[in-house]
Chains A and B, each alone.
Chain A
Amino acid sequence: MTSTDSQPFLSVKDLKVHFSTEDGVVKAVDGLSFDLVRGKTLGIVGESGSGKSVTNLAILGLHNPDSTAIDGSIELDGEELNGAPEKRLEHLRGNKMAMIFQDALASLSPYHTIGTQIGEVYRKHTGASKAESRARAIEMLKRVGIPQPDRRVDSYPHEFSGGMRQRAMIAMALVCDPELLIADEPTTALDVTVQAQIMDLLKDLQREFGTAIIFITHDLGVIADIADDVLVMYGGRCVERGPKAEVLRTPQHPYTFGLLGSMPSLDGPVDVPLNPIPGSPPSLLNPPTGCRFHPRCAFAEKVPDGRCAKERPLLEIVDGRGSACHLTDEQRREYLTDTAAKAH
């Protein structure tokens, strides 16, 4: 390891990802900053269109450069990735940083065997021979808990079950011992019992290899299980960040609060309605002015002078904790805990 554990391994600063479309410019990510240290997991939560997947494709440099403008800085282990030459990024991808996608069936090539797909990453980055990379593929399949790996290595993805495919995808991502693993909703398409298996596997592998993980999900339950820190995204911006326990216990942003209120629990009251957030996520073609959450926010009127609609709230992070909201700490204590008390 080249850097000490306290220094960020990945540091994203003021990231902007804008797509030009026929209808105008979509500001998919609009000023996002975060740090991640080795061996830790950052959970990114957000709904569709919040920019969580766009952010991670930008880290890997996978956006089409013709239609995407990426601004800001992405530093991996001290190396700037934004604007790095394609050859360099190709060298890093699959090697130092790897990604797992949601839909393993669609994300694995239907035309090549699992073994080929895992082995070719290894060959590309280590220059190993075909026989060596095949042996490595079998070893990886074994590592992620696929039974009879020496036989299954020659199977095609469609011959695997959903959980096995996701395991194979993890094996493919980890074959070169990456230091950064980005997992984009890796368990969303899976059943709960399989989801639990996959999350255990990721935790085990992290413990073993010290990988830094970015875990993208829309499910706060999954975050509670796997993340160390949480970053909540809304409309292309970070609205709240902090250690998992603090964000889930004492959310500071009304959006995080609303998400928690939207989710029924296994032991909560059943006869009261849920506390949904009204309205729908914003269009990023014409995003709301000021705070992007203000049209759906129950507390926007509590802030004087209509500031929420006029002024973008700044994200102030102190000791890794903070939120982007105009409410004062006192208001937050009053409103957010009050409503929470009513719900329970």
Chain B
Amino acid sequence: MSDTTPLLDVSGLTKHFPIKGGFPIRRTVGAVQAVDGLDFQVAEGESLGLVGESGCGKSTTGRLITRLLEPTAGTITYRGQDISHANRKELAPIRSEIQMIFQDPYASLNPRHTVGKIISGPMEINGINPPGGREKRVRELLEIVGLNPEHYNRFPHEFSGGQRQRIGVARALALEPKLIVADEPVSALDVSIQAQVVNLLQKVQRELGIAFVFIAHDLAIVRHFSQRVAVMYLGKIVEIGDREDLYDNPRHPYTRALLSAVPEATVDEEPRERIRLTGDVPSPINPPSGCRFRTRCWKATEKCATEAPPLVQAEGNKPGHLTACHYPETEPTIPAPRLSKDPEAAA
């Protein structure tokens, strides 16, 4: 394998969940287009952030990459191997290399198992016997994630939320993965604890060289943790790029609106100008034609309704900074608020 092959290569990734209905015999009458044609790569040791609002498909994407779901179309290539439709047997060796960390540290740990059993679980399932035995490895892992190795025999309920998330991280690390998909790993935690876990994940990423797909709705945390960021809207990537390019020079109107809506804990002399989006995200069952953001976009024209903008390097973008918009933003800073007065008129 050459160095240029990315660790993970996703191309045209699509997942449609069928909707059953009809009468008198039930059949598929439509589909929730949760994810619709994603293209992105993750290099070894790199962290890619996936951001977007609820229902944009970021969690579904995480489940597709870990193959907890099977894609409807498109390919997922992991280290040159197509795993899009791999069966259980073919997936077994890959499962140990791609691990997942979940949002809810309460629900994702079996309350009847000790921490030792939880963390050694993946090793047992994959029949891995590390030198020195599994227990020694578990104690090492506890140490890495900042827990007391003496707590080997304790149960999850004896830990706080932040500590439980550390257990989740230790379990994900047990098989020395190459890629961790972290789905909202800190959003259930208190602010002071969030920072502890973010720091831990950053340490893991740097010191162990593990690549991350970091799924979150908190734009500041994603920026802090991920070198590259993809912004999703209604199942599509609208913009992707290095974090500096994306956050300092957002070209897609949605990225811009999203960034301007984040409340920051600073008191400016002059209040920050904001773009206010009106209305709600449309239904993924029947997404708008052309550009999916057009119904809430203040720049939308006829062209946006008829032609879906491709994800390309817009004029003025740095290499690797791709934007899917017919009319990318040009001003370098966030402009004065431009409200679309009548959301119906745009549609």
A interface residues, Cβ below 8 angstroms from B: 47-48, 161-164, 191-197, 199-200, 218-225, 244-245, 248-249, 258-268, 270, 273-278, 280-281
Contacts and interface: CB of A to CB of B under 8 A. Distances in A.
A193 B192 CA distance: 24
Contact of B267 (A248, A261, A265, A277): A248
Nearest to A258: B192
Interface of B: 53-54, 160-163, 190-196, 198-199, 202-203, 217, 219-221, 223-224, 243, 247, 257-259, 261-267, 274, 276-278, 280-281
Nearest to B53: A191
A196 B202 CA distance: 30
B123 to A, nearest CB: 28
Nearest to B263: A221
B247 A266 contact: yes
A214 to B, nearest CB: 18
Given A249-B267, A276-B193, A276-B195, A266 B262 contact: yes
Most B CB within 10 A of own CB, among A223, A266, A275: A266
Contact of A280 (B193, B195, B199): B193
A55 B263 CA distance: 25
Most A CB within 10 A of own CB, among B192, B195, B223, B277: B192
B276 A262 contact: no
B265 A47 contact: no
Given A219-B191, A273-B202, A265 B265 contact: yes
A265 B257 contact: no
A270 B243 contact: yes
Contacts of B281: 161
A278 B160 CA distance: 13
Contacts, number: 127
A148 to B, nearest CB: 11
A164 B278 CA distance: 12
Contacts of A259: 191-192
Contact of B265 (A164, A263, A267, A273): A263
Given A192-B53, A274-B199, A278-B196, A263 B223 contact: no
A200 B224 contact: no
Nearest to A226: B263
A152 to B, nearest CB: 13
B220 A263 contact: yes
Most B CB within 10 A of own CB, among A218, A222, A262: A262
Most A CB within 10 A of own CB, among B196, B221, B276: B196
Contacts of B263: 192, 195-196, 199, 219, 221-222, 224-225
Given A192-B258, A221-B264, A264 B192 contact: no
Contacts of A244: 267
Contact of A264 (B53, B223, B280): B223
Given A265-B266, A274-B224, 19 more contacts: A47-B191, A48-B190, A191-B54, A191-B217, A192-B258, A193-B257, A199-B263, A200-B276, A221-B265, A222-B263, A224-B263, A260-B265, A264-B195, A266-B262, A273-B199, A274-B195, A274-B199, A276-B196, A280-B163
Most A CB within 10 A of own CB, among B160, B224, B278, B281: B224
A36 B130 CA distance: 61
B53 to A, nearest CB: 4
Contacts of A197: 276-278
Nearest to A280: B160
A264 B276 contact: no
B267 A245 contact: yes
A194 B252 CA distance: 19
A262 B194 contact: yes
Nearest to A275: B195
Contact of A196 (B192, B217, B276): B276
A176 to B, nearest CB: 28
28 contacts: A47-B190, A47-B192, A47-B193, A161-B281, A163-B280, A191-B53, A191-B54, A192-B258, A192-B262, A193-B257, A193-B258, A194-B53, A194-B280, A195-B263, A196-B263, A222-B263, A244-B267, A245-B267, A258-B192, A262-B191, A273-B203, A274-B195, A274-B199, A275-B195, A276-B195, A276-B196, A280-B162, A280-B193
Given A224-B266, A225-B263, A196 B195 contact: no
Contacts of B274: 196
Nearest to A219: B263
A273 B259 CA distance: 22
A242 to B, nearest CB: 12
Contacts of A245: 267
B220 A224 contact: no
Contacts of A191: 53-54, 217
Contacts of B243: 270
B292 to A, nearest CB: 15
A249 B281 CA distance: 36
A66 B249 CA distance: 58
A259 B276 CA distance: 28
Contacts of A249: 267
Contacts of A265: 220, 264-266
A264 B196 contact: no
A267 B264 CA distance: 10
Contacts of A224: 263-267
Contacts of B258: 192-193
Nearest to B296: A193
